[in-house]
Chain A
Amino acid sequence: MSSSANIVLSARGIVKRFRSGDSELEILHGVDLDLRSGERLALMGPSGAGKSTLLHILGLLERPTFGAVDVDGRDAWALSTQERAALRNRHIGFVFQFYHLLPELDAVENVMLPAMIAQSRGDFREDRRAHIAKAMDLLANFGLSHRLKHRPTQLSGGERQRVALARALFLDPPLIIADEPTGNLDRDTGELVLELLFRAQEQRNLSLLLVTHDERLAERCGRVLRLEAGRILGPLPGRG
């Protein structure tokens, strides 16, 4: 449990400032965070605390003003843009509150998108059948076997989030980052999506970093961190 070998994600001294006009606004004041392999970590906190900002930094989408993020044992922000993009592609799966599917692609194509980005044209063509089979399999597992060829606009919110979930899992990344994945869904649909997310997490022994406002959801996570005004307030005992 304490061995550094199975730490998937590690952040040290994360400071984030935004320039707004002449003044600088500091949103994160030095955040430390470790995520172990197979761990389920919930991040809670009031709106505007900087949770999404922290998630974007940990997900290698936004550069911290100070501090280091290690993914897979590598200092991600010291890598080249290309290497960092590859790390995002292979090691991190994103689930957003607003699903963020490409409207031009159908469900299967959306799910395969990480592989399209990862592979060259020739390689992808070779693996195409396998990819399609895998995408259909994932979608079928999530109860979407009758929605394979649907575009996002033809899907309900819950269905869209399940497609997004399949996309995040497609390249089998060791880490899933989810920012309020149920924030836009009604209670029952949210439950269903969460059920699928937790099941996949357990089956694959993934690390899950989850931002939520839902206490009941947080209770089901192994560890809960509270972020308030840009600082981690220390771990709360989790039950689940």
Chain B
Amino acid sequence: MYRFFLSWRFLRSRRTNLIGVFGIFLAVGALILILSIMTGFLEETRRSARGSLSDLIITLPPYSESKRPRDPAPVLEILRADERVEGASAHLGWMCILTRQDERSLRILVDSQSSEIAGVKLTGVDPATEDSAAEFRHSLDKVGRSEEGEIVAPRLRVSKLEDPFAAPPEYNANVGRPRASVIVGEKVMTYHGLRRGSFITLMTAVPDPKSDTGWSAKKREFVVAGCFRSGENEIDLERVYIDRGQLARFLAGVSEDDPLPEDSILYSEVLVKLKDYAADAEDVRATMGARLYKAGLLDETCTIRTWEEFRGALLGAIENERVLMGIMLSLILVVAGFTIFAILSMMVTEKRRDIGILTALGATPRGVLALFLLIGFWDALIGALSGAVVGTWMAIKIDPFERWLSETFGVQIFNREVYLFDSIPSVVTPVAVAAIVLGAFVCTLLFAAVPAWRAASLDPVEALRNE
């Protein structure tokens, strides 16, 4: 019984032990806090990446030589027939340069250092089916709302969610020639100084066998019907939505109200949403690929990819960073363990005589070993548990805490604009907390074992010989 009793007494009677406890407390708390934030970042990034990407993306480049049908209908039909498929929608993507009658456009075009870009990815969608495969209307609906969800900036939003490409109320269709609507990314809106009803000019090139360069230029004016927010910087900065039929007309060079010519380019990719992505993705990819290929709807130029493959580099980088951070921060644990080692070593030297006395009174070397290991154990117990509690609490409350700090001291620690997160993401995983606490225990006990073993192998007589 003396081991418990004396380890507590020794612990309490030496203030220096507090340093060790505090070290473990700090290490465990910081590890939990930072890993929670990194996990939060990872999950938040995954989620925002998800928001704009569908489960499977089939890319079908519209080369003129390909024998594939021009219309996406047969592909969509086969996909939608599969019971594991939730929905499918066709896209037509085309890179354009965006300008408007404004000096700003010139500035953006000539400034090589600017992060504001003139190049946009014009994306033709079918508003009727787009939501079955991607979070299209959700990204429209997020715009112009306050934190509480109230609409505070109605002039950023499309006027009718159910018919997003309807002409905006600010646009008088009777002035000049008719113009099709586009919905621009939130950042495109700001950087180019656009408003709902603004006119923009999009320019691009399309393949043209009749031209001596093989390409011919296209240019057309559009009206801005509103903007969207995907939450992902890259997309909000360069994507512009348009009705797929209108994009096809633009590329074919026929006017907004005319029927499409036979050979127009109608789609370049198909988005597929699955009912159970985790379970079916690989299987659907294989079977659908084979079936579409057999039907002559797919050829070697086409690819079927999961959304994770598009974001693989980013997700991998964050995961990597999280692991690296964990490893580096684990070094704090080692430092804390080293403090315990130093303090206990001092204690053993200081308590040589007491160890001799205990041995004379009948303590075994094993008992003395346990006594000093227990001191390390108490250090770890107090430090790791308090660190886990405070670290977890901080991880849960980091957002209000950071806001409070910002408001009180006027320094912004976390720039919500940069990350496009509305709050600091933080996810506390019990398994990680348990692993960190366990790691603290193992580390402390390993470091405590050295002085404890030294105490156990002390010669009691030597210690008792003199005062």
Contact = CB atoms under 8 A, between A and B. Distances in A.
A52 interface: yes
Contacts of A104: 6, 9-10, 13
B354 A96 contact: no
A100 B353 contact: yes
Contact of B361 (A81, A98, A114): A114
A61 B2 contact: no
Contacts of A56: 461, 464
Interface string B1-34: 1101110011001000000000000000000000
Given A100-B464, A104-B13, A61 B1 contact: no
Given A104-B13, A121-B4, A88 B361 contact: yes
Contacts of A81: 364-366
Nearest to A91: B362
9 contacts: A61-B460, A81-B365, A94-B361, A100-B353, A116-B6, A117-B2, A117-B362, A121-B1, A123-B1
Closest 6 CB pairs of A and B: A89-B362, A116-B2, A124-B1, A121-B1, A98-B467, A85-B364
A158 interface: no
A101 B357 CA distance: 8
Contacts of B360: 59, 61, 88, 94, 100
The range of chain A's interface size is 20 to 34
A124 B1 CA distance: 7
Interface of A: 52, 56, 59, 61-62, 81-82, 85-86, 88-90, 94, 96, 98, 100-105, 113-114, 116-121, 123-125, 167
Contacts of B13: 104
Nearest to A121: B1
B465 interface: yes
B461 A117 contact: no
Contacts of B61: none
Nearest to B2: A116
Nearest to A97: B467
B342 interface: no
B465 A105 contact: no
A105 B461 CA distance: 22
Contact of B9 (A61, A100, A101, A105): A105
Contacts of A61: 359-360, 460-461, 464
Contacts of B467: 98
A79 B467 CA distance: 30
B372 to A, nearest CB: 14
A104 B467 CA distance: 17
B458 to A, nearest CB: 12
B217 interface: no
B354 A102 contact: yes
Chain A facing B: main interface SS: helix
A224 B54 CA distance: 100
A170 to B, nearest CB: 9
A216 B364 CA distance: 38
Contact of A88 (B1, B4, B362, B461): B362
Nearest to A98: B467
A63 to B, nearest CB: 10
Contact of B362 (A52, A90, A105, A121): A90
Interface of B: 1-2, 4-6, 9-10, 13, 353-354, 356-367, 460-461, 464-467
B1 A52 contact: no
A125 B363 CA distance: 19
A59 B366 CA distance: 19
A86 B364 CA distance: 8
Given A52-B465, A61-B460, A116 B364 contact: no
Contacts of B464: 56, 61, 96, 100
B460 A117 contact: no
B362 A102 contact: no
A227 to B, nearest CB: 17
A105 B4 CA distance: 14
Given A88-B359, A94-B361, A116-B6, 13 more contacts: A52-B465, A59-B360, A61-B359, A85-B359, A98-B467, A100-B357, A100-B360, A103-B354, A113-B358, A113-B361, A116-B1, A121-B1, A125-B1
A109 to B, nearest CB: 8
A82 to B, nearest CB: 5
Contacts of B357: 100-102
B10 to A, nearest CB: 6
Nearest to B467: A98
A233 to B, nearest CB: 24
Given A61-B461, A98-B467, A102-B354, A116 B359 contact: no
A117 B4 contact: no
B364 A82 contact: yes
Contacts of B466: 98
A104 B354 CA distance: 10
B252 to A, nearest CB: 89
Interface centre among A59, A89, A113 (most CB of B within 10 A): A113
